[in-house]
Structure 1
Amino acid sequence: MRIVSGELEIREFGTQDEDQVTAFLAAGDRTALPPVCPATPDEVAGWLAETVHQHRLDGRGVHLVMVESGSGEIVGSIGLRDADAGSCEIGYGVRAGRRGRGYATEAARAVSRWALVEGGMRRVQLHARVDNVASLRAAERAGFHREGTLRMAEWEDGEAHDLAVFSMIVTDLETAAAPS
């Protein structure tokens, strides 16, 4: 899978990403990586060569990297998971130094379009902490519709957090087409 959208190339993580992923982990910066990324730099090569692809082959989802087309720099990650009965969940993260440039919005819009048109999904859903204003805005700008709130639904850093629930279906794609 490879999607080019705006300033981004969105594709599955691969061995060509080893140096950048290793540098992120060595610096303690996991914000551009999926939640199931390696814990240490020593695990990166195996994760890129096998684990990422096995995750997809096992039907658990797909981990995609957002690469800035001009520089080749990894700016974030986005993924699809929990595909069941034509529905899946999307999640994204952007490196702290690259936020505010529309990368999450662009990637969420492009990957959701792919999932709904080519991937056979009828619904793409997204959960974001209600206190993560940037993520909420990215979801809305990408064309997702807010459906409600899951109260105390996520446990992180020793406390419970509310999650906003968003969705996109194929009829939403027309409103999601134009960048905001």
Structure 2
Amino acid sequence: MTTQDDGAAIEPVVIPRLSDGVVTLRGIELSDAEQIVAICQDRQAQRWLPDLPNPYTLHDAESYIQEIVLPGWQKGERHSFAVIKEGQDDYLGSVDVHLIRGSIAEIGVNIGPGARGTGVALRAVQLIIDYAFNGLNLKHLYWRAEVPNWASRKLAWKAGFRFEAELRAFADNRGESVDMWLLSLAHNEPRDPQQAWTGPQQRETQS
């Protein structure tokens, strides 16, 4: 048992292991730190995830695990998972449910370049959607993607998220105001595309 800064006891958290037989979600561990560095230094990650330090170091990865991932589970505010192949343990990326409030939350995804275009991202998203709705009893999930991150938007679309709005100057990317797409999925809606795809037709690499 650990304690908070105010001395209050924190019960240890049991992180579930989720699998569809091909992809598995498990807890993020300190042993994943080097792979986290490699993925977070990737050009696409740096482009679309502005909260990532640049350069992204081993210290950053260890701080992320110890100061964001573990407290997120302990406080119930963010449930973060490592994505691996079933029967293997190589860290391929992460998915999470964050900003948990009431019966709603947001989904976050960061899949490394080695697993993009293989179907791993979609399977990981489908697993965490099922966990959010059936494990956490949430009712609505939201997905934000910076314009024009079509790979992220298409991944959300494949998982059943419905496009809601384009929000002008809604977020900040390294000092610059950027537009954001907002998509949503309700617990009783299909987990496959609900609308026709309106984006580019070229192959997307995120899924």
The answer to whether the 8 Å contact 1:128/1:165 transfers is yes
Give 1:165's match in structure 2, choosing from 171, 177, 182: 182
> Which letter does structure 2 place at the counterpart of 1:8?
V
Distance 1:20 1:137, change over 3 A: same
**Amino acid across the alignment from 2:116:** R
Deviation track 1:104-150 (CA, whole Å, cap 9, x = no partner) reads 22211210111111211011111112311111110010111111111
* Cα distance between partner residues in 2 of 1:116 and 1:141: 17
Give, in whole Å, the separation in 1 of the partners of 2:67 and 2:167.
Answer: 35
User: Which residue of 89, 92, 99 corresponds with 1:82?
Assistant: 99
Tell me the SS of whatever aligns to 1:140: helix
Q: Secondary structure at the match of 1:172?
A: coil
Residues 116 and 122, structure 1, Cα contact 8 Å, conserved in 2: yes
Gap runs ≥5 in structure 1: none
1:10 corresponds to which of 25, 29, 32? 25
Equivalent of 1:134 in 143, 151, 155: 151
Q: Quick check: which one's strand share is greater?
A: 1
Q: Match of 2:69?
A: 52
- Structure 2-normalised TM-score? 0.70
SS in 2 for 1:83: strand
The structure-2 alpha-carbon separation of the partners of 1:44 and 1:94, relative to structure 1 and needing over 3 Å to count, comes to closer
The C-alpha deviation readout for 1:17-47, integer Å capped at 9, x for no partner, is: 245335x28x944949x9579x531465565
Corresponding residue to 1:114 among 116, 131, 134:
131
Amino acid in structure 1 at the alignment position of 2:18: I
What is the aligned-residue RMSD (CA, Å)? 3.0
Contact 1:13-1:63 within 8 A present in 2 as well:
yes
1:69 is aligned to 86
Alpha-carbon separation, structure 2, partners of 1:104 and 1:161? 25
What are the Cα deviations for residues 81-116 of structure 1, in whole angstroms up to 9, with x where unaligned? 111120001110111232112222221121011111
What percent of counterpart residues are identical? 24
Distance 1:44 1:145, change over 3 A: closer
Q: Which amino acid aligns with 2:86?
A: S
SS in 2 for 1:110: helix
Greater Rg over alpha carbons, structure: 2
Please say which of residues 13-22 and 93-102 is displaced more in the overlay: 13-22
Aligned CA distance change for structure 1 residues 83 and 51 (closer, same or farther; 3 Å): closer
Contact 1:6/1:106 (8 A) holds in 2: no
The 1:19–1:97 alpha-carbon spacing in structure 2 relative to 1, beyond 3 Å, is closer
Q: Which residue in 1 is equivalent to 2:11? A: none
